[in-house]
Amino acid sequence: MNTRQLIDLAQQLRVDSVRAADAAGSGHPTSSMSAADVMAVMLANHTRYDFERPQHPGNDRFVLSKGHASPLLYAAYKAAGALNEAELLTFRKAGSRLEGHPTPRRLPWVETATGSLGQGLPVGVGIALAGKRLDRTGYRVRVLCGDSELAEGSVWEAAEHAGHEHLDNLTVIVDVNRLGQRGPTRHGHDLDAYARRFGAFDWHTVEVDGHDVDAIDRAFLEADSTSGQPTVILARTLKGKGVASVQDREGLHGKPLPDAEEAIAELGGVHDRRVEVRQPPAARMLHAVRSGHLDLPRFETGDEVATRDAFGKALAALGGARGDVVALDGEVGDSTRAEFFAKEHPERYFECYIAEQQLVATAVGMATRGWVPYASTFAAFLTRAHDFVRMASVSGTGVNLVGSHAGVAIGQDGPSQMGLEDLAMFRSVYDSTVLYPCDANQTAKLVVTMAGLEGIRYLRTSRGESPVIYSATEEFPVGGSKVLRASADDRLTLVAAGVTVHEALAAAEALDREGIQARVIDLYSVKPVDRATLREAAEETGCLVTVEDHREEGGLGDAVLDAFTDGRPVPRLVRLAVRTMPGSASPDEQLRAAGIDAGSIAAAGRLLVETAMVR
């Protein structure tokens, strides 16, 4: 498109943004208007995309990091012919695909859900990394950021990652409109301030007037021709550009224009100009073609093996069988054992350093391109990426996350390193799966199983060694459990997972010596939970004791209760969990101090059975 056409297209995007927000009665038209010229130039002159085939491997990828500017995105889709007029005006209404913030759950052209600021660039970096090192089909990744969101550390975590990886297939455009939600941003229109920062992280920087379509056009060309570095285009813009009554004014964030009709007239009226978006080049997916025999590690029952070791070995084996599996490390691969994968498949191993937000964002970005990522770090440090996990679930993107060093059982390192809130965090995420194996063969099987699930899949591993109790041929369906000990005389049920399974088994033996028979259930699938088996155990034994190496809120105990919220009678129940703030101590001392060792379990079980008899 030439200058005149680009200007006209940009005005149409503004008009359609104003119209959509006006029809909705809410939304962010002024944040859309500032970036309309950038969007018009990018769409008309620089994007290669087949709207009929959003999964085309040659398609360029676009992420609207400032997701509240969704009216602009939808206006662009309309200009590209992907949406019609009528649908545009369903914006923000119940049942519409055009949500307040765009998500790929509803719209096939959206790569990742945005709306939590500072996440679009990190995910874009993940996509660009996939493009550069995995897909290699030549697509470019473009991310449109707001200026306010550059206050998020995650943006600089991503900038560091992209600079270090020389992602010259990545272009970021910052819509520097100087106004955030509640007033001026930190740096206002000081483009140099942003340029210094990106430059320091080894980016190529371009500063432009964000309302000069020719300058923008040249900036995109410069970005495309820059090699060895990602490029950021810093665009000086005005919020609400084009309508005098709102332009560059405070207090108008997230509000429809006061007089939409007048504004539309001022912007040149309603038009239905179309953009012929360039088609992508022919390209094919690499990762679909490779697969081989799965040679999963097998562990001998009775041997002592840490589940983190089993994870590393199983992942390496899975990587041999599936060419689409990739592994990501947060600079603790020697501890999580992700390094076992690195040794066998270095070309599919990604070091994300100590940057857990980028670790998860890279996984999300790669998953959007069809790869099957396993991102691992200490369970405790995955809390750093909670908001990224939450947004991945909004996207509906499937990623495998593995947290090692769970619970007080890690011993001397103390509470900062203990994952004690991870089960609660992952259980509360929509459509998640939470798995917590207690032995090596179970771990290996679950590592393979999780790859085939939808949504967020979390595997919790342990630092210390524990006995292998299952044979290598045993199966562990998601939503299942294993009854490790049962008799007709059972008077209570011990429900455990991970390290506490072994403690529960020892407790059951101790109780047996006193003449109290206890059932033991290994609840390796914490979510979804095996309601039928728990219900049956409750009905047959009457009493349940849950025991977990986790805080008492939101973990295994609460998961067990899930089975009893259907209005039917509930068993007597006691739960054992970590209720103190641990210090340093040996693993055995930690379990005892937290009251989740065999002795504590037996004591609780004994008391519960006696109480139940009396009443």
Catalytic residues: 356
Residues 85-144 that bind a copy of itself (CB under 8 A): 91-96, 98-101, 103, 105-106, 113-118
Neighbours of 405 (CB within 10 A): 25
Q: Minimum distance from CB of 290 to a copy of itself (Å)?
A: 28
Residues 9-38 that bind a copy of itself (CB under 8 A): 24, 26-27
Taking Cα atoms as reference points, which of 30, 476, 63 lies closest to residue 267?
30
Neighbours of 156 (CB within 10 A): 19
Under rule CB under 8 A, residue 507 binds a copy of itself: no
**Residue linked to tokens 């190496």:** 549
Q: Which is nearer to a copy of itself, 133 or 572 (CB)?
A: 572
* Spatial distance between the Cα atoms of 169 and 61, rounded to a whole number of angstroms: 10
Q: Which is nearer to a copy of itself, 95 or 292 (CB)?
A: 95
Bridge partners (DSSP) of residue 457 are 400, 433
- For the packed helices 356-368 and 386-395, what is the interaxial angle rounded to 10 degrees? 10
Q: Minimum distance from CB of 147 to a copy of itself (Å)?
A: 10
Under rule CB under 8 A, residue 153 binds a copy of itself: yes
Under rule CB under 8 A, residue 416 binds a copy of itself: yes
Q: Would you state the structure tokens that stand for residue 421, as one six-digit string?
A: 């809130």
Under rule CB under 8 A, residue 301 binds a copy of itself: no
Residues 202-261 that bind a copy of itself (CB under 8 A): none
Under rule CB under 8 A, residue 185 binds a copy of itself: yes
Q: Which is nearer to a copy of itself, 222 or 351 (CB)?
A: 351
Taking Cα atoms as reference points, which of 515, 44, 503, 51 lies closest to residue 280?
51
Taking Cα atoms as reference points, which of 496, 507, 578 lies closest to residue 537?
496
Q: Would you state the structure tokens that stand for residue 116, as one six-digit string?
A: 């939590």
Q: Which is nearer to a copy of itself, 91 or 299 (CB)?
A: 91
What x-and-dash track marks residues 560-589 binding a copy of itself by CB under 8 A?
-xx-xxxxxxxxxxxx-----x-xxxx--x
Residues 339-368 that bind a copy of itself (CB under 8 A): 339, 353-358
Binding window for a copy of itself (CB under 8 A); candidates: 50-58, 287-295, 481-489, 556-564:
556-564
Neighbours of 141 (CB within 10 A): 28
Interface with a copy of itself (CB under 8 A), residue from 2, 108, 136, 196: 196
DSSP state of 409: G
Q: Which is nearer to a copy of itself, 149 or 439 (CB)?
A: 149
Neighbour-count burial of 209, counting CB atoms closer than 10 A to its CB (0-12 exposed, 13-18 middle, 19+ buried): middle
Q: Would you state the structure tokens that stand for residue 448, as one six-digit string?
A: 């393979």
Is residue 576 helix, strand or coil? strand
* Spatial distance between the Cα atoms of 85 and 197, rounded to a whole number of angstroms: 41
- Cα-to-chain-centroid distance, residue 211: 34
Under rule CB under 8 A, residue 383 binds a copy of itself: yes
Under rule CB under 8 A, residue 417 binds a copy of itself: yes
Q: Which is nearer to a copy of itself, 370 or 414 (CB)?
A: 414
Under rule CB under 8 A, residue 296 binds a copy of itself: no
Interface with a copy of itself (CB under 8 A), residue from 236, 287, 427, 502: 427
Residues 510-549 that bind a copy of itself (CB under 8 A): 527, 543
